[in-house]
Chain A
Amino acid sequence: MSVLPGTVAPGPSAKRRRPGRPRLAYLLILPATAVLAAVVGWPLVKIVQLSVQQQLSGKYALFHGGANSPYVGLRNYSRILSDSGFWTVAVRTAVFTAINVGLSLLIGMALALLLNRVSRWARVLLVAVLLFAWAVPSTVSTQVFYWLFSNQYGAVNYLLDALPGVHLAGHDWFADPHQGLAVITAVVVWGAIPLLAISLHAGITQIPREILEAATCDGASPWQAFRSVVLPYLTPLLVILTTLSVIWDFGVFNQIWFMRNGHPEPGYQTLGIYLYANGIGSSHYNDGATIAVLMMLCLLVVMVVYIRQLFRIGDAQ
């Protein structure tokens, strides 16, 4: 089977889907529809409803009749959108996402090209390491990075301190949220690289070799060959990988939560953490619902591109 979604060739029978018997089809999708309606549909409706209801404090109020609290229109939205704290968090999330996506894609692409140039044994070694890094849960890798960057006995401080002109012995990376977020970026990027590198490498190997060779014959530099041959070929795949990376990095939660032992300081808050702290943690469910809706609206913009790409592939089959 084809490895790359962007390059799946439509089978000969693609357009001849069996007509008729729709009743059987409806029967087949019934269970899935029921489950999705219950665990996604209902909560989605509920979250929009909560976001336009009066703010209630405390779990008790919400769980016991609070669901019938009066509607207040968009008052929750205007309160949150006029809060400067929200905007600080939103901007931080945007910057964090941009940096993480950019770094992951750059390094992922560099490793994909590297995989294409090395000997077989080196490729096997690197792919094996990438697979292990890919498989480790983000909660676990965050614990490991926390320990690596710990100020007292952490290996990173020790190794960096050994470099000439660097003095990092006993340095606390988490005292300054910017440095702390840099460490979190390291975990996120470390975890994201394997998927990107391996799928991009698979994409590169599908480029017809003759085309690359022709480019080299015509005197193209490696950079020119990359720009005018490799990149155009990889564009559909890159669109999907970029959108997915944006979606994941925008919603990063585990890495920040674990790095701060479940109590992220304000300087560490991205939208996900902000939603949890202001909505669930403090039982302000209506605020939480409002932030959740705002978050989904932001993501929807990215999703449009993604869904269109997926639909094009889906239609091809």
Chain B
Amino acid sequence: MTATVRTGAAAATSAPHTPSVAVRRRRFSRKQYRTGGWNLVAVLVSIVMGFPIYWMLLTAFKTSSDINRTTPLFVVTHPTLRGFREVLGDEIFRRNLLNTALVTISAVLISIVIGFFGALAIARFRFAGRKVFIFAVLIVQMIPLLALAIPLSLLLDRFQLKNSLTGLVLAYLMFTMPYTIWTLRTFIANIPIELDEAALVDGCSRWQTFYKIILPLVAPGLIATGVYGWILAWNEFVLANTLLLDNRKQTSMIYLLVFQSSPTHGADYGGLMAAATLTSLPVVTLFVLFQSRISAGLTAGAVKG
């Protein structure tokens, strides 16, 4: 709709003489025709892009006889909750889901509190070593987690934190913290410094300025970084797989892999897709709820998981 109006206006200004009504109408319809074509392409792309998610949900609700048919069924005829009941009935799965939540929440909270201070420092102060600090924060984001898995496991072992969720939280700080600092820095930098100055002139202490001015204004940024940090930590697999050995201590990502490759569950796609759905549900929900905030925060920090 807007496209048609826009090009109509463009056509009107572009033509040296005002086009006749007949010509304009023909241009409109050609344009609409073209937009219709692109709409069709968009629908086809959406179907292709969305198909894997559709297939996951579909399989999760299918009966096993419907799953193992030589002719795949593209709709669900006898919806069943068997897959969900199976994995939710598995004590290990519930335990692993809880572990994932605990580790994620702890890593995000610690990163936000500590990262906020760091972000405040680089956004509001000039000090010797500021560039070095920024450089360190940026470079850390580029290090492959896998590369540090060996020394991290040595370090955690030394403090008897290997195979413990506390150890995993510490390891996760390695990627949640730099992202948090860098993104919050952008959000704080966007708050006019005049607001701080006005507050200071009006007799606020530094602490009050922070508490009454910066904190409320940066709240949306805190949500964006928190949600994105949540996504990063929730989806992490490599470190959890390297650092956690006991299956009751593992996270849901590892559960998925073990489920898929265990002989008893081998081809149980219903259960696997139910577990996959349940595992991605918290992330998808948060993502969809806060998507505009996340996009802003993401591009502010220019990082993806």
Interface residues of A (CB under 8 A from B): 1, 3-5, 8, 11-14, 16-19, 21-22, 24-26, 28-29, 31-33, 35-36, 38-40, 42-44, 46-47, 50, 62-63, 67, 111, 114-115, 117-123, 125-126, 129-141, 143-148, 150, 152-155, 158, 190, 193, 195, 198-199, 202, 209, 213, 216-217, 240, 244, 247-248, 250-251, 253-254, 257-258, 261-263, 272, 275-276, 279-280, 285, 288-289, 292-293, 295-296, 299, 303, 306-307, 310-311, 314, 317
Contact = CB atoms under 8 A, between A and B. Distances in A.
Closest 7 CB pairs of A and B: A43-B151, A32-B118, A292-B147, A135-B287, A25-B125, A46-B151, A28-B121
Given A28-B118, A31-B114, A217-B10, 11 more contacts: A13-B194, A17-B126, A29-B118, A40-B143, A40-B148, A137-B253, A143-B256, A147-B269, A258-B256, A263-B261, A275-B147
A153 B68 CA distance: 6
Contacts of A32: 114-115, 117-118, 177, 181
Interface in B134-173: 134-140, 142-144, 146-152, 154-155, 157, 170-171, 173
Given A120-B2, A261-B257, A303-B139, A139 B235 contact: yes
Contacts of B117: 28-29, 31-32
Nearest to A117: B38
Given A272-B144, A296-B143, A129 B46 contact: yes
Contacts of A139: 235, 237, 253, 256-257, 279
Contacts of A22: 125-128
Contact of A254 (B34, B174, B238, B304): B238
A159 to B, nearest CB: 8
B193 interface: yes
Contacts of B126: 17-19, 22
A148 B52 contact: yes
| B contacts with A: majority SS | helix
B154 A46 contact: yes
Contact of B192 (A13, A119, A135, A216): A13
Contacts of A121: 39
Contact of A132 (B59, B127, B284): B284
Contact of B146 (A5, A46, A190, A275): A275
B140 A195 contact: no
Q: Which of A26, A29, A155, A307 lies at the interface centre, i.e. has the most chain B CB atoms within 10 A of its CB?
A: A29
Interface string B262-277: 0000000100110010
B56 interface: yes
B53 to A, nearest CB: 5
A296 B237 CA distance: 20
Contacts of A117: 3, 34-35, 38
16 contacts: A18-B124, A25-B125, A62-B154, A114-B41, A117-B34, A119-B1, A135-B288, A136-B280, A143-B256, A217-B10, A280-B149, A280-B242, A293-B147, A307-B139, A310-B138, A317-B186
A144 B55 contact: yes
A272 B136 CA distance: 23
B127 A25 contact: yes
Contact of B155 (A11, A36, A46, A306): A46
A182 to B, nearest CB: 16
B67 interface: yes
A283 to B, nearest CB: 10
Contacts of A155: 55, 72, 74
Given A139-B235, A247-B142, A262-B261, A25 B121 contact: yes
Contacts of A12: 192
B20 interface: no
Contacts of B177: 32, 35-36
Given A1-B187, A11-B192, A126-B46, A276 B155 contact: no
Contacts of B122: 29
A27 to B, nearest CB: 8
A199 B303 CA distance: 12
A216 B27 CA distance: 15
A33 B133 contact: yes
Nearest to A254: B237
Contacts of A134: 287
Interface string B20-38: 0000000000000011001
A285 B150 contact: yes
| A contacts with B: majority SS | helix
Nearest to A209: B6
A131 B288 contact: yes
Nearest to B189: A317
Contact of A40 (B67, B140, B256): B140
B52 A296 contact: no
A8 B149 CA distance: 36
B154 A63 contact: yes
B166 to A, nearest CB: 13
B76 interface: no
Contacts of B71: 158
A276 B51 CA distance: 32
B259 to A, nearest CB: 9
Given A3-B296, A35-B177, A292 B38 contact: no
B111 to A, nearest CB: 9
